[in-house]
């Protein structure tokens, strides 16, 4: 990854408007790119790329294998580094589903105010006590690559006789809290393989736009959570590798030091 494969062809140049001399670089996986774009490039570094699915991971200097097949071991885009990766299904998708299905009012109000609907949804969820009055959400099982079966999505432990406590805000906060419970389970599996708990987490991707979600994650994992200034770390990672490939930077580490900030 990050090495030049060739140049834009004349045919592609006509279709795209790019110069036919534009270098074409060898790409990489989205998770690898996301971690480079958030500075997760050293052994022991840990992070979550929070997109449609969440990918809790820890970087290792050796290809450790989980014999129980709960996590997968992938090559990083940097030589001699590996990613111990798990996967939380539906986490980001479920948050978007809740917005589209139940938060039309917040979406319309946000449009008038020039805000993101999620900002108003977070304000709503912040008024609910941590723990969501005992409500739980089921979306997916934690990592199990040999027999991965998920329950039907469900909201549990809400009281239809208490609408003051159990309402739209409660359901949404419970959904946010579930993402962190899921991540905790995934990291527990990873730590059993790598042997040590991360000192901090770098949280990037679309989910990292929510300060509330980052705080819930920090409270649940009981470690600091850092959010990069560029939330779309996957796009930044691709730019970093391309910059290294054409010689702007001598190394990925040097490029990350220049481009990744918190």
CA distance 233 to 248: 19
Task: Say which CATH topology domain 4-89+195-259 has.
Answer: Nucleotidyltransferase; domain 5 (3.30.420)
Band the pLDDT of 192: cuts 50, 70, 90.
Answer: very high
* Predicted local distance difference test score (pLDDT) of residue 24: 95
Judge whether 200 and 217 are in contact, CB under 8 Å: no
Global pTM reads: 0.93
Task: Write down the CATH number for the domain with range 91-184.
Answer: 3.30.420.40
Band the pLDDT of 201: cuts 50, 70, 90.
Answer: very high
Domain borders along the chain are: 4-89+195-259, 91-184
Alpha-helical segments (H) within 114-247: 117-126, 168-194, 211-221, 233-245
Average pLDDT over residues 25-46: 97
Average pLDDT over residues 88-116: 96
Determine how β-strand 82-85 pairs with β-strand 54-60. Answer: antiparallel
Q: Kindly report, residue by residue over 105-153, the tens digit of the pLDDT.
A: 999 999 999 999 999 999 999 999 999 999 999 988 888 888 878 888 9
pLDDT at 93 over 90: yes
Buried b (16+ CB within 10 A) or exposed e, 81-118: bbbbbbbbbbbbebbeebbeeebeebeeebeeeeebbb
Average pLDDT over residues 208-236: 98
pLDDT at 181 over 90: yes
Average pLDDT over residues 40-69: 97
CA distance 77 to 117: 35
Average pLDDT over residues 55-70: 96
Please name which of 246, 244, 247 lies closest in space to residue 256, comparing C-alpha atoms: 244
Q: Which segment of 42-46, 80-84, 149-153, 211-215 scores lowest on mean pLDDT?
A: 149-153
- Which H/E stretch holds residue 226? strand 225-226
């Amino acid at each position: 990854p990050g090495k030049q494969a060739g140049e834009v062809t004349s045919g592609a140049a006509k279709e795209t408007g790019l110069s036919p001399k534009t270098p074409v670089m060898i790409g990489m996986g989205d998770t690898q790119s996301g971690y480079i774009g958030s500075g997760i490039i050293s052994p022991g570094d840990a992070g979550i790329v929070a997109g449609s699915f969440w990918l809790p991971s820890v970087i290792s200097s050796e290809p450790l294998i989980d014999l129980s097949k709960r996590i997968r071991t992938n090559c990083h885009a940097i030589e001699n580094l590996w990613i111990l990766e798990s996967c939380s299904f539906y986490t980001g998708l479920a948050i978007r589903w809740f917005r589209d299905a139940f938060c039309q009012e917040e979406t319309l109000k946000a449009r008038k105010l020039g805000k993101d609907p999620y900002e108003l949804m977070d304000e709503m969820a912040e008024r609910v006590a941590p723990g969501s009055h005992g409500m739980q959400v089921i979306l997916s099982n934690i990592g199990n690559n040999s027999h991965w079966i998920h329950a039907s999505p469900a909201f549990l432990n809400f009281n239809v006789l208490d609408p003051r406590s159990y309402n739209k805000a409660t359901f949404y906060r419970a959904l946010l809290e579930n993402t962190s419970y899921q991540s905790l389970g995934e990291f527990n599996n990873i730590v059993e393989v790598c042997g040590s708990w991360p000192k901090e987490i770098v949280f990037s991707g679309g989910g990292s736009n929510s300060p509330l979600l980052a705080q819930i994650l920090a409270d649940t994992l009981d470690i600091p959570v850092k959010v990069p200034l560029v939330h779309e770390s996957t796009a930044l990672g691709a730019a970093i590798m391309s910059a290294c490939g054409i010689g702007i930077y001598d190394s990925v580490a040097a490029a990350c030091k220049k481009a990744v900030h918190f």
